[in-house]
Amino acid sequence: MLILAMDSTAVAASVALLFDGAPLAAFHLDNGNTHSETLLPMVESVLRCTGKTVDDIDLFAVSAGPGSFTGVRIGVATVKGLAFGKGKPCVGVSTLEALAENLVPTGGLLCPVMNARRGQVYNALFRVENGALTRLCPDRALSVKELEAELLTCSEPVTLCGDGAELVKNSFTKCSAALPPLTLMEQNAVSVALCAARMAKAGKTCTDEELKPVYLRMPQAERERLQKLQQAKEQS
């Protein structure tokens, strides 16, 4: 199976092409440009370098969230555009699960965290069992204090990853946690593809039309709009 996967949920963007679980090409870019400028050229470069075309792709995969609202939308829209009308399956992968996939060789309790701002992080917990990920809770948004309180009940070593890992580690007052090498800390489209292959095997695919972004919180613009509507209602 030939899988085209991408991630644009944080500052860096990543695109990978995998065939039967083996990476053919991967492109990671963190140069300050917007994902709307870089993601499609990265896809085109990966396909060109491997001699493949979009028509060769068997499965389209994308980190569907959580993450940057704009980045998530761009990634999902890009995959929907590439897959449109081709009748090929798509997979929306949890960004947090893909981050945990980076650390499967590490083992133990894995704690991916992304900075959600407003005093919260996006998080889920995973354990590596027999070389595979086991999810321990759904994706969620919670405070660092709430996360630390939960991890204090765990007796096994904890490894953090994600763009909120250093923030969380430095904010912990009682809980100790390890950080992986920088190369395993951030989102990686290869891991997105590995998760997607596992989901496809379990029959968890969707059409391009069904593919949706996943937001754990309402976008700020929407929150502000609703707040203004509520204020106007109270004043009327």
In the three-class reduction of DSSP (H, G, I as helix; E, B as strand; rest coil), residue 164 is classed as: coil
Percent of the chain clearing pLDDT 90 (strictly above): 85
Average pLDDT rounded to a whole number, residues 192-198: 98
Which residue matches tokens 């996360």?
147
Average pLDDT rounded to a whole number, residues 200-228: 82
Confidence of residue 218 (pLDDT cuts 50, 70, 90): low
Give the pLDDT confidence score for residue 220 in this predicted structure. Answer: 59
Confidence of residue 223 (pLDDT cuts 50, 70, 90): low
- Please say whether the dihedral angle defined by the alpha carbons of residues 34, 12, 116 and 137, taken in this order, is positive or negative: positive
Average pLDDT rounded to a whole number, residues 176-204: 96
Percent of the chain clearing pLDDT 70 (strictly above): 92
Whether residues 89 and 108 fall in one domain: no
Total residues belonging to the chain: 236
Confidence of residue 31 (pLDDT cuts 50, 70, 90): confident
Give the pLDDT confidence score for residue 110 in this predicted structure. Answer: 98
Which candidate, 209, 214, 217, places its Cα nearest to that of 86? 209
Quick: pLDDT tens for 125-143: 999 988 899 999 999 999 9
Whether residues 11 and 50 fall in one domain: yes
Whether residues 140 and 39 fall in one domain: no
Domain membership of residue 223 (yes or no) is no
Share the mean pLDDT of the chain.
Answer: 93
Q: How many domains does the chain have?
A: 2
Whether residues 20 and 75 fall in one domain: yes
| Helices 35-50 and 69-83: angle between axes, nearest 10 degrees | 40
Whether residues 122 and 170 fall in one domain: yes
Confidence of residue 33 (pLDDT cuts 50, 70, 90): confident
Average pLDDT rounded to a whole number, residues 104-126: 95
Enter the tokens of residue 125. Answer: 């917990």
Whether residues 30 and 139 fall in one domain: no
Partnered with residue 15 across adjacent β-strands are 6, 27
Any idea what the Cα angle at residue 123 is, between residues 119 and 126, rounded to 5°? 155
**198: domain CATH number?**
3.30.420.40
- Asked if residue 226 has pLDDT above 90, the reply is no
Give the pLDDT confidence score for residue 112 in this predicted structure. Answer: 98
CA 128 and chain centroid, separation: 18
Domain range for 103 is 97-185
Average pLDDT rounded to a whole number, residues 104-122: 94
Domain membership of residue 47 (yes or no) is yes
Quick: pLDDT tens for 142-182: 999 999 999 999 989 999 999 999 999 999 999 999 999 99
- Asked if residue 221 has pLDDT above 60, the reply is no
Which candidate, 29, 1, 34, 30, places its Cα nearest to that of 15? 29
Quick: pLDDT tens for 41-94: 999 999 999 999 999 999 999 999 999 999 999 999 999 999 998 999 999 999
